[in-house]
Amino acid sequence: MEYAHAVLTDLAHEHGTSTEKGLVIQFPLTHEELGFLVGAHRVSVTKALKALRESGRVTQQGKHLVLPVPRSQ
């Protein structure tokens, strides 16, 4: 799960758009494509994304993934 989050974070920083909700990856990614990026099976990616959503580290906006950015204190 940590590696998947790291890959998504890198992807968001390189290709994402900053919004008030966080960094939005502006193109849809299938679980199969994410699996190719992280070197995992699609089923493993599905489980990792579920865990990341449940922990609030990734949200979904339509077909786009959003990585919330911690607010400055």
Residue 41 is part of a domain; what is its CATH number?
1.10.10.10
Q: Judge whether 25 lies within some domain.
A: yes
Domain assignment of residue 10, given as a range: 2-67
Reported as a single tens digit per residue, the pLDDT across 15-61 is: 999 999 999 998 888 899 999 988 999 999 999 999 999 999 999 98
pTM comes to 0.82
> Strands 22-25 and 59-61: what pairing?
unpaired
Number of domains in the chain: 1
Q: Judge whether 51 lies within some domain.
A: yes
Which residues neighbour 38 within 8 Å (Cβ) at sequence distance 6 or greater? 3, 4, 7, 45
Per-residue pLDDT at 73 exceeds 80: no
Q: Judge whether 35 lies within some domain.
A: yes
Name which of 7, 43, 40 is nearest 65 in CA terms: 7
Round to whole Å and give the CA distance between 66 and 23.
Answer: 5
Q: Judge whether 48 lies within some domain.
A: yes
Round to whole Å and give the CA distance between 10 and 67.
Answer: 10
